Structure 1
Amino acid sequence: MEFRTLKANEIDCRIQSLNEKNGNVGAVVLLYKDARIDMRLLDEVVGAMNWKREHAIIGDRLYCTVSIYNQQTGEWVGKSDVGTESNTEKEKGQASDSFKRACFNWGIGRELYSAPFTYINLQNGEWKPGKDGKPKSYAKFTVKEIDYDENRNINKLTIVDSKGVVRFTMGGSAASMQATKPKETHVAGYEEFCKLAKDNNVPPAEITKYIATEFKKPRLAMLDAFEMVAALDWLKKFIEQQGTK
């Protein structure tokens, strides 16, 4: 059983952070899926009567288990994950987030982990200074085009604004990429992490899953200095555990 990759109109864009330099503001944009998309794909692939979701509080955290009925064995197979609070409705946010994470474990939308670093320079009128002096933006972006390679990794991506103007492209010309994506700089510990992971053959999927689960970020390069310290600690423990098996 395999869930298909997400279509452009099934993916949402969210501004994760804003960066201001010399009066110019840029937005780091993440791709994500809505819980309704998970429900639709479960209905589409396994049938509405062949899956179920259950929630349970363990400690002070809300977990969700998404179970799919195996018709060959007559058993329910479940995969679980924990949710995080939203900024508005605590319980509803945890329930939705834990459900989406459990669906990620089934493979729904997992290709979003391969999203490129997406940086969009904001235009006048798309942002304003907040009360704390930091820039605020309510700009809306949507995915116009997306495509994947044979390994289900994103190899083409076009993001447009509310007026339909292209603001980010991947898989296009070098000139357009240069206009939308600045050169990345890495925090201390990044090179060490990459070398350790490579030398010890740590599966990239394990790294991506850890980063997405722990920091809600799609790529190692997006971690800040404090997060990188935690990530290095996790990697060393992971390598140690692998060596004892």
Structure 2
Amino acid sequence: MKELSIPLLTEQDIDCRVQSVSKAKTGRVGAVLLLYKDARVDMRILDQVFGPGNWQRTHEVINGNLFCNIDIWDDEKKTWVRKQDVGTESNTEKEKGQASDSFKRAGFNVGIGRELYTGPFIYVELADGEFYPERQGQKEVFKCYASTKFKVSKIAYNERREICDLVIVDRNNKVRFNMNGHAPAPQATQSATNGQNAQGGQSTNQQQRTAPQPQNSAQTGGAACPVCGGPISEAERRYSMNKFGREMCRACQKNA
């Protein structure tokens, strides 16, 4: 197995998807993002590292669950080496979703994209026009519009193949998350701004002046959590930076 020769994922190999949307105690709405790889990335890297004829993919059902087997030919041992994992259903096509997911999970076992597990907790504040509220019984939930897109614009790794730098931008290429810095506050999208102006709301300049600014301990004298706005101690800040790559109070760390 040539695990050490498997290349690290580039910015173009990684998908950035919204996992959840919620409102903080401060009233700001934000989204938690996750980093994914596409099944086509696994196929390309398997071809690149082992050769198109030196690996094969099969599926089998075990106890009602769909598993994927990736068999790689070991020329020294003259045998196939198998990596296996189970998939989960997608929200669209059940069988196809399970097959694709199990293939990507088996790819992790080969070593493809394993570095994504070292990524930081990614939280971005959302601007008006990027999300909408929805009633579910007595509960109000928030969801992102289909047009709300994020992508990785920069990623770097250390000698242990761990993510050490990460920058995420929106569809307008504006920085929304910076692992080693602070992203600027989000501005309202053009459609949301036009809608408010048509209804006699604030002008664009007024919205920009009153847009909520993200807080951090340096801006608030070490007193506020940038996620929920609650108090944060210096010990909590140091622990959060070391573990998650961003400042969070103890309560937000538990939910990370």
TM-score norm. by structure 2 comes to 0.69
Counterpart mapping for 1:13-162 below 5 A: 13-21=16-24, 22-132=26-136, 133-138=140-145, 139-162=148-171
SS at match of 1:13: strand
| In structure 2, distance between residues paired with 1:10 and 1:51 | 20
- Is 1:168 the equivalent of 2:171? no
Amino acid at match of 2:160: N
Name the residue aligned to 1:208: none
Name the residue aligned to 1:9: 12
Amino acid at match of 2:174: V
Q: CA deviation at 1:183?
A: 5.6
| In structure 2, distance between residues paired with 1:179 and 1:121 | 11
Q: Which runs of 5+ in 2 are unaligned?
A: 186-213, 217-224, 231-251
| In structure 1, distance between residues paired with 2:7 and 2:126 | 33
**Number of aligned residues:** 192
Which of the pair is proportionally richer in helix? 1
Structure with higher Rg: it is 2
Distance 1:165 1:179, change over 3 A: farther
SS at match of 2:98: helix
Q: CA deviation at 1:163?
A: 0.3
Q: CA deviation at 1:23?
A: 3.7
Deviations 1:152-188 (A, max 9, x none): 0000000000000000001246999x75993699xxx
Amino acid at match of 1:96: S
For the Cα contact (< 8 Å) 2:175–2:183, is it kept in 1?
no
Of 182, 206, 212, 2:226 maps to: 182
For the Cα contact (< 8 Å) 2:150–2:170, is it kept in 1?
yes
| In structure 1, distance between residues paired with 2:161 and 2:107 | 16
Name the residue aligned to 1:216: none
| In structure 2, distance between residues paired with 1:74 and 1:18 | 50
Q: C-alpha root-mean-square deviation of aligned residues, in Å?
A: 2.8
SS at match of 1:147: strand
Amino acid at match of 1:145: K
| In structure 2, distance between residues paired with 1:100 and 1:26 | 28
Q: CA deviation at 1:24?
A: 1.8
SS at match of 1:102: helix
Distance 1:76 1:113, change over 3 A: same
After superposing on structure 2, the runs of 4+ consecutive aligned residues of structure 1 that deviate more than 2 Å are 171-176, 178-185, 221-225
SS at match of 2:57: strand
For the Cα contact (< 8 Å) 2:87–2:102, is it kept in 1?
yes
For the Cα contact (< 8 Å) 1:119–1:182, is it kept in 2?
no
TM-score norm. by structure 1 comes to 0.72
Q: Percent identity at matched positions?
A: 51
